[in-house]
Structure 1
Amino acid sequence: MKKLLLGTVAASVHLLFAVGAMAASAPKPATQNRAEISGQYKWDFSPIYGSWAEWDAAMTSIEAKMDAFAARKGTLKNGPAAVLSTYQAFDEIGMLQYKVYRYPQLQRDVETRNQEVAGKFQRVGAVFAKFGTATAWFTPELLKIPQATMEQWIRDTPALAPYKFTILDNYRQQAHVLDEQGEKLLSFATRFGQTPTATFQELSTSDIKFPKVTLSDGKEITLSPGTYQGVLQTNYVQADRAKAFDAFLGTYAATSNTYAAIYNGVMQKGWFTAQARNFPTVLEAALDDHAVPMDVVKTLVDTVRAGTAPLQRYAKLRKKLLGLDKYHLYDGSIPIYKTTATYPYDDAKETVLQSMAPLGADYMAKYKKFLSGKQIDVYENDGKRSGAYVGGVYGVGPYMLLNHNDTQNALFTLAHEGGHAMHTILSYEKQPYVTSSYTIFVAEVASTTNERFLLNKLLETTKDPKERFLLLQHAVDSIVGTFYTQVLFADFELQAHKLVEQGKPVTAAVLNGIYLDLLKTYYGDAVTIDDAYKYTWSRIPHFFNSPYYVYQYATCFASSAKLFKDMTTGAPASRTAATARYLELLGSGGNDHPMAQLQKAGVDLSKRETVQAVVDQMQELVTQMELEAAKIR
């Protein structure tokens, strides 16, 4: 059965590094007071509900539907009609779940300090946990029906066809489904299991006090996440970047023991669930949901660990061109060549839209319509969560959160999140509800493919060596951020979870040691590793919100590289066919296992060469950067 909605359908905290910029108008507002930001740049929640009264009514309705669903217990054996009506009843609840969940969740994310909204969001979690308990009977009861009988019922009942994949996937996972009492017991732990993540959210957003620093120009700034990134991306005084780094990381270091306890709680929850469902490791439990082979992660980590030479070569090139005696990780975001140009949001929208022309008129029309609506929250404001994501609302569409700051990174973030938005739009359009939600494993394919199209368009329209260098730098930084960094994160998760699985201590000191060793492994002697960087793990939301998520950035990056190449090279007929396969992937939602979906689109992640191709691409891009740098005077 389709799982409860307890997180975003497609979410990504954008971690890529900024590079250059371009001239435009209408810069971001100077204020961070949400009330003073124009309404055209803020979310309109009315398509979901017009008021909290409507939301309250929907909450009452969903609870009634949940009670009615629970009353169906014992009916599945009555035949295909009973199975069909039960799935249809679950669909009704699921579609309503999207709306009652998103309405408070989205409002909380743009004003995390609003405790009234936070309380309403907690109420949603309580209701969903109740439903988990009320439906604990379903899968064990379904699996009492022999698979051959169920397959015959599906063949004889056309209305069951949309549910075929979901139903039969239950049988694939049968060894990890408990009896009714076991499933009910696990459901009781749902709300408790959400506590570590909720605690991290409050500590890292609502309660955190970001430091103030005075830079070399005498200006005092508060180092919010967006402002901190702005310093790293735009301030050419290395001492200022160092000061910002020390102060910002120091904020997390000051409470690192608390973060370690929270993260231990997150991992203990995962290990509890894995053991309860008879999985030997948390990773295997995480991968089994979508039938992803263990070798995919192992091949990814092993290939990248063996392929760090281009990463280190790039760091050394940056050090040379920036003229630095020592090169630090906080030097990794500053453009090597200065530019006074910017990427204001309104111009960025048009640039991104035009870059997607190769995907066809229908894609362009749908994308333009989305960009013109009020389901994008554009600018940073006090109390707003950091990063960027897209969250779907079935029956309404995607909502996109940004923290646009006019940098080139912000432009590419818009393209990235736009890929998620279009993936959601096409999945909702092409799929029935039961298979409308795509998996995390394919989510980042659409986003990184959009970034490739944007980069390609920008490279086509400039001949200036400096501008070309900056674009190539962005391409390389994308590989650093979306591929190498995410695999380093996955490597960290594997080692941290292993400690829990072996019953070993998990403390801030232990986690610091793991992270510091990984930095040295991946960067070698190309970078001066500052000791404070060992606290970086404490500020990575994915570790706390969605364990074993980040490796999929890298697999998706490898997938998008292959898909983009197929759509842009070779004979016209082959490019057209590849584009059609790609659009079919976007519209396929969750109608198959993600590995199978990607294979239909032309990507096989079980092959080492698929991952190695990104390492090779990195090497080629660094070579091109060296050539362009030689032309710049």
Structure 2
Amino acid sequence: MVMGLTKNVPFMKKDPSNDGVLPIGSLPRRDEIDRRYLWKLEDIYSSSESWEKDFYHLEEMLPRFSEFRGALHLSASTLLGGLRLMEDAEIIMGKLYAYAVMRSHEDMANKAAQALAERAELLLVKLSAAVSFYTPEILEMDEIKIREFMEEEKELQIYRFFFEDLMRSRPHTLSSVEEELLARSGEIARAPENIFSLFTNADIKFPTVTDEDGNAIELSEERYIRLIRSQNRNVRHEAYEGLFRTYDQYQNSLAAMYGASVKGDIFYSRSRKYNSSLEAALHPENISPSVYDMVVDTVRDNLEPLHEYVQLRKEVLALPELAMCDLYVPLVDEPQKEISYEEACNVVLDGLRPLGEEYVSILKEGFLSGWIDVYENEGKRKGAYSWGSYGTHPYVLLNYNGTIHDMFTIAHEMGHAIHTWYSHKHQPYVYADYTIFLAEVASTTNEALLLQFLLKNSRKDAERLYLLNYSLEQIRTTVYRQAMFADFEKMTHSMMEKGEPLTADRLSNIWHELNEAYYGSHISVDHLIDIEWARIPHFYSAFYVYKYVTGYAAATSLSQKILREGKDAQRQYIEFLKKGRSAYSLNILNEAGVDMTTSQPLLDTIALFKKNLMEMKSLL
């Protein structure tokens, strides 16, 4: 679709562990939870009848698109009419889809809700097919004619940037016959990712391991995340060995899957006349490959602080030799005090006051007006996300359990939600969404401001140590680790573009060398870690993970700027939230005071890492 429906996708990291259903046990039924803690989807549709009315109305709209097929170039009024029809249809579709899917997430065992979501999905496919001619037909138009149309029909001028951005793809758009062939190949192109997902989620069987209480449990990716953080080293070592030895048994098959995915990336980039698969991946957001290179190079050139942190980890854990299975065990216990949801909301409100009275008032509205689904219940989708549909307020799904981590999740997801609120309020539909490059900036800025507030007000060394370690781990896993992922992707695609095969041995050697370089000499990089590349689902969406690094770095710079400069920086930041996708991502960030074409935001983040590391050392 020309304008897309990306605003209908929850803003969450691509982590398969966030998918699925919570195990049903002693959790309350949904009807047992106080309605104050449930989101109000009736703000989208007051009844099932009103949803059905819109559903059938949209179905009736679909034949009208045929009136514009082959005719968009005929006149300014026809072009405007076609764009307006598509906008009207997509706005309705957005509401239908968001309502149905969020309703299904309330209880994944509710068959009626699942059926509603499936109907919305099928209608979305129909709408996508109905408007599929828009992009090629507009690209066939002469740019001079489009400018003349905008002069003739003033209401078309709102689409100036939309046309400009679309025209950038003209050199990489093929003939209609070739485009149809590429479109038909899409299902084949997705095969490696689908095979990987099925193989790793359904077919691979992990061994049984023993937990801290002596219980024998079947290992899984999700259980591994908990076990690798165990204070009992035998537990985390057994989990580590069980997971990676299992992947190692299938190294050749997994290498073939990943290699096929990289081949697909290269096929499409060459078919569309890009210089590389990296350039092809970054082009939709108008990002130069030099920005990607800068991210990898800057982190590579500043690994010493990470090496120091690894050394501190070895000292705190009092281990003669630090192993890869020791990287995730917390150095400081999380405070055991349970934080009520109301208390967490109040702390978040206080922590985000540097963003101004208007921002805080919107935040309060979200807390009090049915934006948020707070607690776990039987069958509820796990994880957390923010979702917005144009014309309605945003929504947030939580599974709140009273921890500090849960409090940060509130700040994070409400960062997304209020970004959506501002962009939807201040932008027309065509620009109301924001790019993935910008998506994590607002949410992470909230987390950074909350962390600084908590550090400023912490009175106990134990609490301060926990917060410092939380910050260090956030930067380690989001900046350093994701930069290592980005480094790996750049290497593997470059190798295959030169005609070098990606065998399991080659991939494992690259991964081993990267771990040695990134983590340094204070840790023993064993050969089991070499197969870790094979379990990373992000690699099947090429050159995606670097956006975690840029998002975190931009948020660090923005939060420090807001705390340092006050109202002027606050005003710039709110303007950033209002921009949606009305300009290119780098330009929007630049206007907010962050230049992501330079290394400075990353250097700011690494400087913060150093500062917190030094303080943590002084307190231990």
Normalised-by-shorter TM-score class: 0.7 to 0.9
Matching residue's letter, 1:526:
H
Please name the residue that 1:583 is paired with.
Answer: 574
Quote the Cα distance in structure 2 between the aligned partners of 1:33 and 1:212.
Answer: 26
- TM-superposed CA distance for 1:417, in Å, is 2.4
Please name the residue that 2:592 is paired with.
Answer: 601
- Is the counterpart of residue 316 in structure 1 residue 307 in structure 2? no
Is contact 2:25-2:378 (8 Å) kept? no
SS at match of 2:439: helix
SS at match of 1:78: coil
Which sits farther off after the overlay, 363-372 or 472-481?
363-372
Please name the residue that 1:242 is paired with.
Answer: 237
Matching residue's letter, 2:351:
S
Matches within 5 A, 1:434-445: 434-445=430-441
Please name the residue that 1:524 is paired with.
Answer: 520
Is contact 2:7-2:388 (8 Å) kept? no
Quote the Cα distance in structure 1 between the aligned partners of 2:313 and 2:480.
Answer: 17
Residue by residue, what CA displacement relative to the aligned partner does 1:402-429 show, whole Å, maximum 9, x if unpaired? 4555543333233222211221222112
Quote the Cα distance in structure 1 between the aligned partners of 2:179 and 2:226.
Answer: 47
- TM-superposed CA distance for 1:89, in Å, is 1.3
- Is the counterpart of residue 453 in structure 1 residue 449 in structure 2? yes
Is contact 1:249-1:532 (8 Å) kept? yes
Please name the residue that 2:19 is paired with.
Answer: none
Quote the Cα distance in structure 1 between the aligned partners of 2:287 and 2:434.
Answer: 14
Residue by residue, what CA displacement relative to the aligned partner does 1:27-48 show, whole Å, maximum 9, x if unpaired? x999475747954566665555
Which sits farther off after the overlay, 53-62 or 85-94?
53-62
SS at match of 1:526: coil
Matching residue's letter, 1:165:
F
Matches within 5 A, 1:263-412: 263-344=258-339, 346=341, 347-372=343-368, 376=372, 387-402=383-398, 404=400, 406-412=402-408
Quote the Cα distance in structure 1 between the aligned partners of 2:252 and 2:373.
Answer: 34
Matching residue's letter, 2:525:
I
- TM-superposed CA distance for 1:176, in Å, is 1.4
- Give the paired residue count: 612
Matching residue's letter, 2:562:
M
Please name the residue that 1:20 is paired with.
Answer: none
Matching residue's letter, 2:569:
A
Matching residue's letter, 2:283:
D
- TM-superposed CA distance for 1:166, in Å, is 0.6
Please name the residue that 1:18 is paired with.
Answer: none
Quote the Cα distance in structure 1 between the aligned partners of 2:363 and 2:588.
Answer: 23
SS at match of 1:528: coil
- Is the counterpart of residue 610 in structure 1 residue 601 in structure 2? yes
Report % sequence identity: 32
Which sits farther off after the overlay, 559-568 or 199-208?
199-208
Quote the Cα distance in structure 1 between the aligned partners of 2:114 and 2:256.
Answer: 23
Is contact 1:14-1:413 (8 Å) kept? no
Is contact 1:129-1:191 (8 Å) kept? no
- TM-superposed CA distance for 1:177, in Å, is 2.0
- TM-superposed CA distance for 1:264, in Å, is 4.2
Higher RCO, 1 vs 2 (CA within 8 Å, ≥6 residues apart): 1
Is contact 1:284-1:294 (8 Å) kept? yes
Please name the residue that 1:431 is paired with.
Answer: 427
Is contact 2:419-2:578 (8 Å) kept? yes
Is contact 2:251-2:531 (8 Å) kept? yes
Is contact 1:132-1:187 (8 Å) kept? no
Please name the residue that 1:96 is paired with.
Answer: 92
Residue by residue, what CA displacement relative to the aligned partner does 1:510-552 show, whole Å, maximum 9, x if unpaired? 44443333212211222223433334334434333x4322101
With normalisation by structure 1, the TM-score equals: 0.85
Is contact 1:205-1:383 (8 Å) kept? no
Quote the Cα distance in structure 2 between the aligned partners of 1:500 and 1:141.
Answer: 35
- TM-superposed CA distance for 1:11, in Å, is 2.4
Is contact 1:420-1:446 (8 Å) kept? yes
Structure 2: which 5+ residue stretches go unaligned? 17-21
Please name the residue that 2:4 is paired with.
Answer: 3
Is contact 1:113-1:206 (8 Å) kept? no
Structure 2 CA distance for partners of 1:9 and 1:315, relative to 1, 3 Å? same
Which sits farther off after the overlay, 617-626 or 382-391?
382-391
Matching residue's letter, 2:581:
G
SS at match of 1:143: helix
Structure 2 CA distance for partners of 1:226 and 1:106, relative to 1, 3 Å? farther
Is contact 1:5-1:97 (8 Å) kept? no
Among 151, 154, 177, the residue aligned to 2:150? 154
Please name the residue that 1:465 is paired with.
Answer: 461
SS at match of 2:69: coil
Quote the Cα distance in structure 2 between the aligned partners of 1:536 and 1:505.
Answer: 19
Matching residue's letter, 1:454:
L
Structure 2 CA distance for partners of 1:293 and 1:52, relative to 1, 3 Å? same
Structure 2 CA distance for partners of 1:579 and 1:279, relative to 1, 3 Å? same
With normalisation by structure 2, the TM-score equals: 0.86
Structure 2 CA distance for partners of 1:343 and 1:438, relative to 1, 3 Å? farther
Quote the Cα distance in structure 1 between the aligned partners of 2:8 and 2:296.
Answer: 26
- TM-superposed CA distance for 1:154, in Å, is 2.3
Structure 2 CA distance for partners of 1:297 and 1:80, relative to 1, 3 Å? same
Structure 2 CA distance for partners of 1:115 and 1:458, relative to 1, 3 Å? same
Residue by residue, what CA displacement relative to the aligned partner does 1:352-392 show, whole Å, maximum 9, x if unpaired? 23211111222122223323455545567898776543333
SS at match of 1:390: strand
Matches within 5 A, 1:46-57: 47=43
Structure 2 CA distance for partners of 1:297 and 1:451, relative to 1, 3 Å? same
Structure 2 CA distance for partners of 1:173 and 1:613, relative to 1, 3 Å? same
- TM-superposed CA distance for 1:578, in Å, is 0.9
Matching residue's letter, 1:607:
T
Matching residue's letter, 2:311:
K
Quote the Cα distance in structure 2 between the aligned partners of 1:196 and 1:89.
Answer: 36
Is contact 2:323-2:525 (8 Å) kept? yes
Is contact 1:32-1:381 (8 Å) kept? no
